[in-house]
Amino acid sequence: MKNEKKKILFGEFVTGAGLARALEMGAGKVVDEVKASKLRGRGGAGFPTGLKWELTAKQESDEKFVICNADEGEPGTFKDRLLLMEQPEKILEGMAIAGFAIGAARGFVYLRGEYIYLRKILEDAIVSMTERNFLGKNIQDSDFSFDVEIFLGAGAYVCGEEFALISSMNGYRGEPRNKPPYPSEVGFRDKPTVVNNVETLCYVPYIVTKGSEWFKEHGTQASTGTKLFSVSGDVKHPGVYELELGITVNQLLTEVSGEGAKSVQVGGASGLNVAEKDFDKPICFEGLPPGGSIIVFNHKRDMLHVLKNFMEFFVEESCGQCTPCREGNYRLLEGVKMLEKGECSVRYLKELEALCDVMKDSAKCGLGQTSPNAFLSIVENFKTEILYR
């Protein structure tokens, strides 16, 4: 943690306090409290966590599951790595509270293969939590039992998408599928399943102990709480910062010693490129995408080179299932290569922008729907820099 102002996640914490409080409150009240906090998912999509739990809690089923999404693969994101490394018990406690709230007895951490060096830390935390009866059978003498296992990924960005993640766990190719049904109805082993991001789960023990009103003191009306930002690129102090949602790009840059930036990629490759003129805009669910990846570019950087790097990423990581994404990203990359050679006309660039709109509307999952954002925003912000070079 870079900033000394310890807000929520890196503040005081006693393992098990949240779980004990949850057991006192009862499952229904836990769901209500999380709903009242207006906590929204920190994995990108921003779905209200309490509502997700409520939908899953309602399902009648002999078995339900909690999955912690630790597939963190969005370029420029590493905040979950830090949580996994330094706060594994908080993650597990959040999972147990989720399990209690929805009526699940088993949870999984889907850990990206690239993070295999964190497995031991998680395993040790599971053992230690089980020894202290914060996991395992009859937790704290209640009739609630909950076990957690680790499921290792094998190198595929798209597996972070919740449907793809579930397919991957079910033993199929990690491909997204059409919705509905949602995981809350048909998930792991076709049973009702809650999928939450690592960071989302970490706020939960605080919300149940300190209350939703306290949580709402942070952030904005529609984006409550704080957010971990992964800051990299041309800044003096790269690292993870916990900041209020609703912070402007300018404020953030001051916080991380990134003054003098040419542009900032907010929300990773699938987020938006933000130029100086927009640095006063807030980062939150109602503003710039709050995924947490912040990549800063200084005035030396060639933005076409940056764009090419992002498009290569999407071409490589597209699962290839649907045409708009598979072909679209390929065409966009080709367009970037034409721009590099000064061979892309203004007219053709317009065609590519129209293609972007088609991709946004018709791609099956978030990957293909958001990959045009980098293209559109960089082209828009730096048209004179990249055309006819």
Give the binding site for other proteins (CB under 8 A): 72-78, 80-81, 112-117, 151-157, 168-175, 188-189, 230-234, 238-240, 265, 269, 295, 297, 301, 306, 309-310, 312-313, 316-317, 319
Q: Which residue from 16, 41, 246, 271 is in contact with ligand FMN, where contact means CB under 6 A?
A: 41
CB of 134 to other proteins, least distance (A): 25
Q: Which residue from 54, 72, 175, 244 is in contact with ligand FMN, where contact means CB under 6 A?
A: 72
Task: Candidates 123-131, 157-165, 300-308, 338-346: pick the segment binding ligand FMN (CB under 6 A).
Answer: 157-165
Using CB under 6 A as the binding rule, whether residue 319 contacts ligand SF4 is answered as yes
Helix (H) / strand (E) element for 90: namely helix 88-102
Q: Which residue from 367, 378, 379, 386 is in contact with ligand FMN, where contact means CB under 6 A?
A: 367
Contact 262, 112 (CB under 8 A): no
Q: Which residues contact 85 (CB under 8 A, 6 or more apart)?
A: 118, 121
Contact 386, 339 (CB under 8 A): yes
Q: Alpha helices, DSSP H only, in 242-345?
A: 249-255, 303-317, 323-340
Distance of alpha carbon 160 from alpha carbon 75, whole angstroms: 12
- Name the strands in the sheet holding 293-297, side by side, starting at the edge strand that comes first in the sequence: 239-244, 226-233, 293-297, 263-266, 272-275
Using CB under 6 A as the binding rule, whether residue 373 contacts ligand SF4 is answered as no
**Residue 282 DSSP label:** B
**Residues 126-165 within binding reach of ligand SF4 (CB under 6 A):** 158
Q: Which residue lies nearer to other proteins by CB, 53 or 310?
A: 310
CB of 264 to other proteins, least distance (A): 12
Task: Candidates 182-190, 217-225, 342-350, 357-365: pick the segment binding ligand SF4 (CB under 6 A).
Answer: 357-365
Q: Which residues contact 358 (CB under 8 A, 6 or more apart)?
A: 324, 328
Q: Is the dihedral of CA 25, 70, 43, 91 positive or negative?
A: positive
Q: Name the 3-class secondary structure at 315.
A: helix
Q: Which two three-digit tokens encode residue 281? A: 């805009």
Q: How many residues does the chain have?
A: 389
Q: Which two three-digit tokens encode residue 213? A: 């009103």
234 binds, among other proteins, ligand FMN, ligand SF4, none (CB under 5 to 8 A by kind): other proteins
296 forms beta bridges with 233, 264
Q: Which residue from 168, 197, 373, 381 is in contact with ligand FMN, where contact means CB under 6 A?
A: 197
Task: Candidates 73-81, 183-191, 314-322, 331-339: pick the segment binding ligand SF4 (CB under 6 A).
Answer: 314-322
CB of 276 to ligand FMN, least distance (A): 29
Q: Which residue from 363, 378, 379, 386 is in contact with ligand SF4, where contact means CB under 6 A?
A: 363
State the residues that interact with ligand FMN by CB under 6 A.
41-45, 47, 49, 69, 71-73, 158, 160-162, 195-197, 200, 365-367
